[in-house]
Amino acid sequence: MNLLQDFHGPNAGYILELYERYQQDPNSVDPQTRAYFKEWTPSTNGAPTAIAPMAPTLDTDKLVSIVNFAQAIREYGHLAAQLDPLGTTPPSDSALSEEYYNVTPDDLRQFPANLIGGPVAEGSDNALQAIQHLREVYSSTIGYDYDHLRQFEERSWLRQAAESKRFRPMPEQYDFVALLQELTEVEVFERFLHRTFPGKTRFSIEGLDMMVPMLNEIIWRASKAKFQTILLGMAHRGRLNVLTHVQNKDYAEILAEFKDPITSENAVAQYLAKGWTGDVKYHKGVQHILRGGQANPLVVSMAPNPSHLELVNPVIAGMARAAGTKVDQPGPANFMPGLSLPILIHGDASFSGQGIVAETFNFRYLQGYDVGGTIHIIANNQLGFTADPNDSRSTLYASDVAKGYKVPIVHVNADDPEACLEVARLAIAYLLEFGKDFVIDLIGYRRYGHNEGDEPRFTQPLMYKKVDEHPTVREQWANKLIEKNLIDTGKAQMMVDSQFDKMQEIMNALDPQENIVEPEPEPPPPGAAKKAHTAVPIDRLQGLNRSLLELPEGFTLHSRLKRILQPRHTALDDVEEGKVDWATAEALALASILEDGIAIRMTGEDVERGTFSHRHAILHDVETGDQYVPMQSIPQAKAAFEIVNSPLTENGAVGFEYGYNIQEPDRLVIWEAQYGDFVNGAQPVIDEFIVSGRDKWGQTPSLVMLLPHGYEGAGPDHSTARLERFLQMGADINMRIANCTTSAQYFHLLRRQAVLLKTDPLPLIIMTPKSLLRNPLAASPPKDFIEGYWQPVIDDARAKEAPDKVKRLVFCSGKMY
């Protein structure tokens, strides 16, 4: 019998502790354990002969210390890992030394390898060799940082993957020379731009070159896993290199943007006439279709982004959610993990500094926001603009914010190509296994300043002394292949020369006006908005209303809610004199849109019930707690309906809905603020995406924002949705802004937005009421729904009878006293 062979690691220590207790008092352990110990003693029945025997006299203190030592390496080995290409001494930890546990190499030799456990024990003759293998895994150029995960299965899977080196690229399975070619293309691209356009901003990738092969590895494996869409979000650092070497954007297009940006008076006049401004080259997005022999091609889209770091994160998440959601059937929307994969590339300073990062992580397990896992890569050049890490964060690692969301983190030295590829493979494999996020902290450096015109030696002279003397990862990899006789020096240099020649030939043949490809928004058909037909026949409305009010058999409503909903039953009976309130008008508008075959996603703060308890889109059985969504059960619907309470965030939530909207523009997407003034929490997304995405990037957003607005707000904050700000931001037909005063006008406005999704899409900002939700003066008769239309201005019924008597015209929004 060999208990230590069956129980290893911490379990072995536990067995020895039990044995000590048994020796002192046999009755202190259970009968089954007592029976085992009668037949077994550590000094005589240790490990099998292939493993070093136990010490003649068992030192259980040493055994427990060794087990704890091994566990410390697994948990904290990353603190001693060589992660900085520039050679900074790692922080380490006293718990990673033998002295801390009062053990010596000779002590370790006396114990079997299986005491350490895991794959490192295989092939090790004793605990000393197993510990050495552990150090090679956990304290080399990869730092595994996953002990904060709650699920044992995930920790165990990661441990096995790390210690078995399951994802390490091997020469017989991976073309190391092809990797050198890839690194050559990445490096020469930057060097050519630096030489040809000195001082021009490009936000070089140099120092983090391995990010490109890592992305290509992840994307290739995603294609094998049958993903259909990859959504890539990143800021400016390395973006041009990723556009060319991941997204296959033509060199000619990039070079043309450097050589001769569109500045001629004629071209500028044409763009401005269309309300089109364009954007700098390192903000633009691109779409690439990767076929790779697959029946269904993989679409890889890099979203455009503004200068605001990390602001694209929720946009990418929303795009991924939309791409993976099927809405062609009535009922709830059906999100299908495995269809879309979001990849986010972060900066080290911005990852810990920008709150939008945490807001986006918080979506991970929320209903309506799950994207099936995101791969995060921190492009960690160990600097902000000029700020050192100790000026930028209060944590050891830039990645530590992810620990609160129980996301595994792996730090890796950007100068070790094999380690980088291993981590990239691990990331996509973990996501496929568990459907959860994964963070890669790719630690490198920045060869130039924040941009190529900046001088970093003013503020980091010692760091840049190291950078100036440091060979590139391409040089290091070439030397390694030369040492292994996989390539000769001449071949490595020929790769560089050939790539320079290729780029120079493209440059010489360049015609900027032909090579610059700017996405321009298509102009809407003339009069599209005015031609929108929004009236609905009374029989359709009555049928929809009946369906919306029908409850499942045995469903018990709250008694007060039952009274609230009762007037809806008769609201459409009298076409001339009936009263349709705001909530009923909204429900009829949305139901009729579903009947027209247009899917709807409606989210926001407390949107299911409505801040003012008027909507009640989801009903709750007071006896069972069951939920019922009438809009998902009406037989007239031809598309899906989704309504979800958002987390208490505006910037992240609005960014998510914007991303969902632009990814699937044929769906009606609505976001509602709890109070209109809360919209200022989303001001960055509004400024950088909603009101300018069309002008800068040719996008066609149609997001609807419902902002409760009015003086009955219990103070200055909740009284206003800042209508004046939206009016100020309106330019070149970039959005629609409305303040409805009747329920029928709200009905027509929503239907009009749905009708125009394919012909004239624009964001729609609606100042919605509070007290008017139930005010009879704001309710409309059914005839206004079956005969009416959207009116930008409703004529004053009394004033139009004697217009010559009008002395003063007051232009305002809201109530007039």
Report DSSP state, residue 780. Answer: B
Distance CA 556, CA 564 (A): 14
CA neighbor of 751 nearest in space, from 572, 543, 593: 593
- The model's confidence at residue 41, banded by pLDDT at 50, 70 and 90, is low
User: Does the pLDDT of residue 56 top 60, yes or no?
Assistant: no
User: Does the pLDDT of residue 403 top 50, yes or no?
Assistant: yes
- The model's confidence at residue 55, banded by pLDDT at 50, 70 and 90, is very low
The whole-number average pLDDT for the span 467-488 is 97
Give how far Cα 359 sits from Cα of 82, 314, 653, 661, 753, Å.
Answer: 31, 8, 8, 19, 29
- The model's confidence at residue 578, banded by pLDDT at 50, 70 and 90, is very high
Q: Can you point out the beta strands (E) in 256-296?
A: 286-290
- pLDDT digit string, tens, across residues 657-711: 999 999 999 999 999 999 888 999 999 999 999 999 998 888 999 999 999 988 7
Residue 285, φ and ψ in degrees, nearest 5: -105, 175
DSSP reduced 3-state for 674: coil
Give the domains, in start order, of the chain with CATH numbers: 3-140 (no CATH), 203-323+341-473 (3.40.50.970), 538-805 (3.40.50.12470)
- pLDDT digit string, tens, across residues 150-190: 999 999 999 999 999 999 999 888 999 999 999 999 999 99
Report DSSP state, residue 640. Answer: B
Contact 137, 162 (CB under 8 A): yes
Predicted confidence at residue 733, as pLDDT, reads 87
Distance CA 293, CA 297 (A): 8
Distance CA 141, CA 411 (A): 8
Give how far Cα 464 sits from Cα of 190, 453, 477, Å.
Answer: 18, 15, 22
Q: What single letter denotes the amino acid at residue 643? A: I
Predicted confidence at residue 677, as pLDDT, reads 86
* Strand 764-768 with 627-628, pairing: unpaired
User: What's the pTM?
Assistant: 0.91
Q: Is the dihedral angle over the CA atoms 180, 181, 186, 190 positive or is it negative?
A: positive
- Alpha-carbon radius of gyration of the chain: 32
- Pull the structure tokens for residue 752: 């009009």
- pLDDT digit string, tens, across residues 26-38: 877 666 566 656 7
Distance CA 563, CA 568 (A): 10
Contacts of 543 (CB under 8 A, 6+ apart): 636
Q: Which of the pair, 251 or 3, is modelled with greater confidence?
A: 251
Contact 54, 60 (CB under 8 A): no
Q: Is the dihedral angle over the CA atoms 613, 618, 619, 623 positive or is it negative?
A: negative
Name the most confidently modeled range: 260-269, 382-391, 467-476, 725-734: 467-476
Predicted confidence at residue 272, as pLDDT, reads 58
Contact 594, 631 (CB under 8 A): yes
Give how far Cα 539 sits from Cα of 188, 227, 406, 673, 744, Å.
Answer: 69, 44, 53, 33, 17
Predicted confidence at residue 685, as pLDDT, reads 97
- Pull the structure tokens for residue 534: 């929004």
User: Does the pLDDT of residue 424 top 90, yes or no?
Assistant: yes
- pLDDT digit string, tens, across residues 178-232: 999 999 999 999 999 999 999 888 999 999 999 999 999 999 999 999 999 999 9
Q: Which of the pair, 571 or 25, is modelled with greater confidence?
A: 571
- pLDDT digit string, tens, across residues 553-566: 999 999 999 999 99
Q: What b/e sequence results for 225-255 when a residue is b if at least 16 CB atoms lie within 10 Å of its CB, and e otherwise?
A: eebbbbbbbbbbbbbbbbbbbbbebebbbbb
Distance CA 337, CA 323 (A): 10
Predicted confidence at residue 5, as pLDDT, reads 46
Predicted confidence at residue 283, as pLDDT, reads 81
Write down how long the chain is.
817
Distance CA 239, CA 82 (A): 27
Mean pLDDT of the chain, nearest integer: 90
